[in-house]
């Protein structure tokens, strides 16, 4: 990631402190406290029952899969797992919250004190510390008619399980905040617990930003930037907020603690509400839900489900497969492409393989507007193709042709080479004959070249020989032969 110009460059005496709370929607089969289907649903108030729509009487029952996913996230972020934790009620009124309280974990979260490693643009690894991860339920959605006359409440989302992942204020600029969010999003996708879809609100970040003079003992007053749904907008909003807060302090004003919204049209943040204090919510332990007791055996069972994590795969791709960090980074962010590469690599150790994957495979998918899964060329077929080029069986030009055919048809690359007659001609005797012919057919050009030694003209002879061989000549061999003839 390139370092972008920041308002902090202009105010060297200030420093920024950024902490982020992320809400991750879990892809469990059912909701957190009832058996309702936990899947997006177009028809409003379809996936609801008396528990998640707040009827009096029915009791919540905790979905064990949510606890498993919370433990998995905790292990993947180096957290301690609490042997005993419980749920609290957080009280507030909003039409999309039918019980008038949200069930969450305030006093004793399931995970605490971990970290997420992020890679900065200079290649350094920084650990962003996590304060806690807790489980909670999502609220429903309020929908407003375009003319503003009517409002509706859709409770399909009510009771969707969430993990709230809270970092320490360890980030000191917009680039670090974005790197952290990207790393965390990739992590939950690797774990298979969240789609990471920001536009649909499956991964939502609340960013707390404050500034202070360097060396000041206390943190500045923070503002919370709520639910911004793209990395770019989050970066822009942080920059805007730093400028606004520094401006206030420079004028001798104070920053007031509040929640602010980012307006993508005006590219400004605007105050939404003053931030509530913890005490305002009148938290207390939910008497309807039992204590959550997690022993080592449970943790051990979940630990077995841990996949290779993004930063681990990154390190392995660099050390074992000899990839450059920039190459490994592209693969790590695209799990299917990384798998494709690794499957091909189990057949060939060619250093050229990665170029074929990142250049030719990606370009082909883009051109044809298809997904990797639809590509007819199997990983081992690409490996065969790369080996044929490396071994001099076909030259690069023919390889492009073979690639296209195999990508479109899934035919065996060796078969395609035979069928179309693309084998490279490397035989010196055979090529010598053709080079001689070209020389005698173009005697005036030969004379001209001997006088000027013009590079372009040399290319003319290479082209002429290639043409006679249907593009199959080994370029290294013919260049040597032509040089000899032109002396």
Residues found near Mn ion in the complex (CB under 5 A): 164
Two tokens, residue 346: 């189990």
Measured from the CB of residue 212, what is the shortest distance to Mn ion in angstroms?
26
- Of 25 and 38, the one with the shorter C-beta distance to Mn ion is 25
Measured from the CB of residue 362, what is the shortest distance to Mn ion in angstroms?
38
34 binds, among Zn ion, Mn ion, none (CB under 5 to 8 A by kind): Zn ion
Measured from the CB of residue 287, what is the shortest distance to Zn ion in angstroms?
20
Question: How far is Cα 251 from Cα 253, in angstroms, rounded to an integer?
Answer: 6
Opening angle at CA 410, ends 404 and 414, nearest 5: 80
Q: Read off φ and ψ for residue 405, nearest 5 degrees.
A: -65, -45
C-beta of residue 50 within 8 angstroms of C-beta of residue 58: yes
36 binds, among Mn ion, Zn ion, none (CB under 5 to 8 A by kind): Zn ion
Question: How far is Cα 196 from Cα 188, in angstroms, rounded to an integer?
Answer: 7
C-beta of residue 353 within 8 angstroms of C-beta of residue 363: no
52 binds, among Zn ion, Mn ion, none (CB under 5 to 8 A by kind): Zn ion
Measured from the CB of residue 100, what is the shortest distance to Mn ion in angstroms?
16
Measured from the CB of residue 391, what is the shortest distance to Mn ion in angstroms?
58
Instruction: Give the distance from CA 283 to its chain's centroid.
Output: 36
Measured from the CB of residue 53, what is the shortest distance to Zn ion in angstroms?
7
C-beta of residue 461 within 8 angstroms of C-beta of residue 442: yes
- Of 34 and 187, the one with the shorter C-beta distance to Zn ion is 34
- Of 281 and 460, the one with the shorter C-beta distance to Mn ion is 281
473 binds, among Mn ion, Zn ion, none (CB under 5 to 8 A by kind): none
Packing angle of the helix pair 231-250, 174-191 (nearest 10 deg): 150
- Of 164 and 176, the one with the shorter C-beta distance to Mn ion is 164
C-beta of residue 69 within 8 angstroms of C-beta of residue 89: no
- Of 45 and 229, the one with the shorter C-beta distance to Zn ion is 45
Measured from the CB of residue 103, what is the shortest distance to Zn ion in angstroms?
13
C-beta of residue 176 within 8 angstroms of C-beta of residue 126: yes
Measured from the CB of residue 172, what is the shortest distance to Mn ion in angstroms?
24
C-beta of residue 474 within 8 angstroms of C-beta of residue 425: yes
Residues for the chain: how many in total?
A: 487
Residues that bind Zn ion (CB under 5 A): 34, 36, 49, 51-52
DSSP symbol at 425: B
- Of 164 and 241, the one with the shorter C-beta distance to Mn ion is 164
- Of 38 and 82, the one with the shorter C-beta distance to Zn ion is 38
183 binds, among Mn ion, Zn ion, none (CB under 5 to 8 A by kind): none
155 binds, among Mn ion, Zn ion, none (CB under 5 to 8 A by kind): none
Measured from the CB of residue 135, what is the shortest distance to Mn ion in angstroms?
10
Select the residue whose beta carbon is closest to Mn ion and give its number: 164
Among 196, 164, 179, residue whose Cα is nearest residue 21 = 164
Measured from the CB of residue 77, what is the shortest distance to Mn ion in angstroms?
17
Residue 215's CB is within 10 A of a number of other CB atoms, namely 7
C-beta of residue 211 within 8 angstroms of C-beta of residue 16: yes
- Of 99 and 134, the one with the shorter C-beta distance to Zn ion is 99
- Of 37 and 430, the one with the shorter C-beta distance to Zn ion is 37
Two tokens, residue 206: 């609340």
- Of 105 and 160, the one with the shorter C-beta distance to Zn ion is 160
C-beta of residue 135 within 8 angstroms of C-beta of residue 161: yes
C-beta of residue 28 within 8 angstroms of C-beta of residue 66: yes
Question: How far is Cα 411 from Cα 392, in angstroms, rounded to an integer?
Answer: 21
């Amino acid at each position: 990631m390139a370092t972008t110009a920041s308002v902090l460059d202009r105010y060297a005496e200030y420093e920024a402190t950024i902490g982020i709370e992320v809400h991750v929607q879990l892809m469990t089969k059912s909701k957190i406290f009832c058996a309702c289907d936990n899947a997006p649903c177009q028809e409003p108030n379809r996936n609801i029952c008396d528990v998640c729509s707040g009827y009096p009487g029915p009791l919540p029952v905790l979905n064990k899969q949510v606890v498993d996913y919370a433990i998995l996230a905790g292990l993947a972020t180096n957290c301690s797992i609490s042997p005993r934790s419980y749920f609290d009620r957080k009280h507030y009124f909003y039409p999309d919250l039918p019980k008038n309280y949200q069930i969450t974990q305030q006093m004793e979260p399931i995970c605490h004190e971990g970290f997420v490693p992020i890679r900065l643009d200079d290649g350094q690894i920084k650990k962003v510390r996590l304060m806690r991860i807790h489980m909670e339920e999502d609220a429903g959605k309020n929908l407003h008619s375009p003319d503003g006359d009517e409002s509706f409440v859709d409770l399909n989302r009510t009771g969707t399980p969430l993990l709230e992942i809270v970092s320490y204020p360890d980030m000191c600029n917009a680039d670090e905040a974005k790197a952290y969010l990207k790393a965390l999003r990739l992590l939950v996708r690797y774990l298979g617990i969240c789609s990471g879809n920001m536009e649909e609100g499956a991964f939502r970040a609340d960013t707390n930003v404050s500034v202070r003079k360097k060396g000041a003992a206390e943190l500045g007053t923070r503002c919370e930037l709520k639910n911004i749904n793209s990395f770019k907008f989050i970066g822009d909003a942080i920059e805007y907020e730093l400028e606004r807060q520094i401006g206030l302090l420079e004028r001798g004003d104070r920053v007031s603690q509040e929640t602010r919204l980012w307006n993508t049209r005006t590219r400004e943040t605007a105050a939404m509400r003053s931030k509530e204090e913890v005490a305002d919510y009148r938290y207390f332990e939910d008497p309807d839900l039992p204590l959550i007791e997690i022993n080592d055996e449970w943790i051990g069972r979940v630990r077995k489900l841990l996949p290779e994590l993004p930063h681990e795969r990154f390190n392995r791709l660099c050390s074992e497969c000899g990839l450059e960090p920039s190459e490994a980074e592209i693969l790590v962010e695209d799990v299917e492409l990384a798998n494709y590469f690794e499957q091909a690599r189990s057949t060939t150790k060619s250093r050229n393989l990665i170029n074929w994957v990142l250049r030719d495979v990606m370009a082909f998918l883009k051109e044809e507007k298809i997904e990797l899964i639809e590509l007819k060329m199997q990983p081992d077929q690409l490996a065969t193709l790369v080996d044929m080029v490396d071994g001099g069986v076909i030259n690069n030009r023919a390889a492009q042709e073979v690639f296209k055919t195999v990508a479109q048809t899934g035919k065996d690359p060796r078969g395609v080479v035979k069928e179309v007659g693309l084998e490279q001609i490397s035989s010196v005797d055979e090529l010598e004959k053709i080079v001689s012919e070209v020389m005698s057919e173009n005697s005036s050009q030969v004379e001209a070249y001997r006088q000027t030694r013009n590079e372009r003209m040399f290319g003319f002879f290479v082209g002429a020989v290639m043409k006679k061989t249907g593009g199959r000549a080994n370029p290294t061999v013919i260049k040597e032969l032509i040089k000899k003839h032109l002396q």
